[in-house]
């Protein structure tokens, strides 16, 4: 959510930003919210003036009565009552106007960074850099669930009976490898100086609307029936929510946290070949990182954060590349976003395994995350990034470490979490 003062003073900038995001239907909202804001401020000013006048007149009544000027006192009482009726009408109007302004402001997209490439959708995202040499072995790489089944590592049929499509049982060494990935990612981020945290896996609606747009909320979140609670789609939601309605000192910044959580997503509109496996699913686990920083430091942290994900994957010899999300592919709250994609030897292309986002002060405005500095108070900047999200990382691990005999080499950093094993051998 952008600053209403900024919108008021720079309507053309906001409209141009909306055009860059190819959301032209929202352009009229700028003039609409300016008019509503004008009405809201006018209503508030009139109410404040009436309260002031009413208070002054009320103080006069006692003095007039003491002097025996009863008629004058009654006249003043009548005027106070008249002010009261008008004030009541204004006070009823104030929250209505404020809510209308807020609702529109929450649908107007955040101002994107000037460096973001302009494009309509993810087909116009821009490759930035490649790390590691992609390799295609001289034998056929099976589909990832086929690899897992040969290792007795997955049971999709039972999961469908128990929970339906989009769920799975991980078994044996594949399940252990999954846990090894999250444990390694946790320790990797702790070594980077981040504080480890396990957050709540459910959050209230006030936090949900604070951390994401309405469109994202509808597409992602599962609502708990009969309660003001939602299952988190990523631990970023509850981690940023941890700071709701707080006033941080500049000396407390940056706040750098890394968190483990299960994640739950509707995955509306998810179609295609990969969805028959474990690429898009309703439940998965993830190691996340978030940063709360001063505005002037947020871009430096943004670049550090995505580089940590690259470093993690490269430490396991998985080739990756970085992709700059274009304007039309950015969620409304985001200022800038870079995806990390891992190499798939089977598909002979890269696929997304992580996403790093700078949201500026948009989430902080919605959630009331303020900073007290030497020059006054201001809203913090918030950032988030995927460290590792099994089972997508499992897909990259299995495909890039598969041997022709069906065995899978375990990358060296994971072996201590696998009881010293250096290889998983097919059971059949």
In this predicted model, what pLDDT tens digit does every residue of 131-157 receive, in sequence order? 999 999 999 999 999 999 999 999 999
Pull the structure tokens for residue 300. Answer: 């430096």
Same domain, 136 and 44: no
- Looking at residue 54, its pLDDT comes to 75
Same domain, 251 and 142: yes
Residue 117 lies in a domain: no
Residue 289 DSSP code: E
Same domain, 225 and 359: yes
Same domain, 101 and 127: no
- Considering only residues 398 and 274, tell me which one the structure prediction assigns the higher pLDDT: 398
Mark which of 105, 136, 171 sits at the end of a domain.
105
In whole angstroms, give the CA distance from residue 364 to residue 189.
24
* Residue 47 pLDDT level (bands cut at 50, 70, 90): confident
The yes-or-no verdict on residue 273 having pLDDT over 50 is no
* Residue 213 pLDDT level (bands cut at 50, 70, 90): confident
Q: Backbone dihedral region of 245: left (phi > 0), alpha (psi from -120 to 50 degrees) or beta?
A: left
Percent of all residues in the chain with a pLDDT value above 70, rounded to a whole number? 96
Mean pLDDT (whole number) for 212-241? 89
The CATH number given to whatever domain includes residue 238 is 3.30.930.10
- Looking at residue 267, its pLDDT comes to 74
* Residue 212 pLDDT level (bands cut at 50, 70, 90): confident
* Bridge partners of residue 338, in order along the sequence: 324, 356
- Looking at residue 48, its pLDDT comes to 85
In whole angstroms, give the CA distance from residue 368 to residue 381.
11
Mean pLDDT (whole number) for 280-309? 96
The yes-or-no verdict on residue 382 having pLDDT over 80 is yes
- Looking at residue 16, its pLDDT comes to 98
Cis before 391? omega within 30: yes
Same domain, 170 and 226: yes
Strands (E), 156-204: 169-170, 195-197, 202-203
Residue 114 lies in a domain: no
| C-alpha separations of 123 from 120, 219, 274, 324, 325 in Å | 8, 20, 18, 11, 10
The CATH number given to whatever domain includes residue 48 is 1.10.287.40
Same domain, 73 and 126: no
Percent of all residues in the chain with a pLDDT value above 90, rounded to a whole number? 78
29 touches 102 (CB < 8 A): no
| C-alpha separations of 37 from 18, 32, 92, 268, 334 in Å | 19, 9, 16, 35, 24
Same domain, 336 and 395: yes
Residue ranges making up the domain that contains 174 = 122-424
Same domain, 93 and 126: no
Same domain, 58 and 8: yes
Q: Could you give the number of structural domains in the chain?
A: 2
Residue 110 lies in a domain: no
Mean pLDDT (whole number) for 376-380? 96
* Bridge partners of residue 230, in order along the sequence: 203, 223
- Looking at residue 268, its pLDDT comes to 59
Same domain, 344 and 415: yes
Across all residues in the chain, what is the average pLDDT?
91
Residue 113 lies in a domain: no
The yes-or-no verdict on residue 274 having pLDDT over 70 is no
Same domain, 168 and 24: no
The yes-or-no verdict on residue 11 having pLDDT over 80 is yes
- Look at residues 421, 414, 419 and name the one whose alpha carbon lies nearest to residue 393: 414
* Residue 277 pLDDT level (bands cut at 50, 70, 90): confident
pTM exceeds 0.85, yes or no: yes
């Amino acid at each position: 959510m952008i600053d209403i003062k900024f919108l008021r003073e720079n309507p053309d900038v906001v409209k141009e930003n909306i055009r860059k995001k190819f959301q032209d239907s929202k352009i009229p909202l700028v003039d609409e919210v300016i008019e509503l804001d004008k009405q809201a401020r006018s209503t508030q000013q009139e109410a404040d003036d009436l309260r002031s006048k009413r208070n002054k007149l009320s103080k006069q009544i006692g003095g007039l009565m003491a002097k025996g000027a009863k008629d004058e006192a009654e006249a003043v009482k009548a005027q106070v009552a008249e002010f009261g009726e008008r004030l009541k009408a204004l006070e009823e109007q104030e929250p209505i106007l404020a809510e209308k302004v807020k609702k529109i402001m929450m649908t107007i997209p955040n101002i994107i960074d000037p460096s973001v490439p302009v494009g309509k959708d993810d087909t116009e995202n821009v490759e930035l850099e490649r790390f590691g040499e992609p390799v295609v072995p001289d034998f056929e790489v099976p589909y990832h669930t086929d690899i897992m089944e040969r290792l007795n590592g997955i049971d999709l049929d039972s999961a469908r009976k128990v929970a339906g499509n989009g769920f799975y049982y991980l078994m044996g060494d594949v399940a252990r490898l999954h846990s090894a990935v999250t444990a390694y990612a946790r320790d990797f981020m702790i070594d980077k100086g981040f504080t480890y945290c396990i957050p709540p896996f459910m959050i209230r609606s006030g936090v949900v609307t604070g951390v994401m747009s309405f469109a994202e909320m509808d597409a992602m979140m599962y609502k708990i029936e009969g309660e003001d609670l939602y299952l988190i789609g990523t631990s970023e939601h509850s981690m940023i929510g941890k700071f709701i309605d707080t006033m941080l000192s500049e000396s407390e910044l940056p706040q750098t946290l890394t968190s483990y959580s299960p994640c739950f997503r509707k995955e509306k509109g998810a179609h295609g070949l990969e969805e028959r496996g474990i690429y898009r699913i309703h439940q998965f686990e993830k190691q996340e990182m978030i940063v709360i920083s001063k505005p002037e430091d947020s871009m430096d942290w943004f670049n550090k954060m995505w580089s940590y994900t690259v470093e993690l994957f490269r430490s396991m010899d998985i080739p990756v590349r970085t992709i700059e999300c274009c304007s039309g592919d950015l969620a409304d709250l985001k200022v800038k976003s870079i995806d990390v994609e891992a190499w798939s030897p089977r598909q002979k292309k890269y696929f997304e395994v992580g996403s790093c986002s700078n949201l500026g002060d948009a989430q902080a405005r919605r959630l009331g995350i303020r900073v007290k500095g030497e020059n006054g108070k201001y809203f913090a900047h918030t950032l988030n990034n995927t460290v590792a999200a099994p089972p997508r990382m499992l897909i990259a691990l299995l495909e890039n470490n598969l041997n022709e005999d069906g065995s899978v080499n375990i990358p060296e950093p994971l072996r201590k979490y696998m009881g010293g094993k250096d290889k998983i051998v097919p059971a059949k």
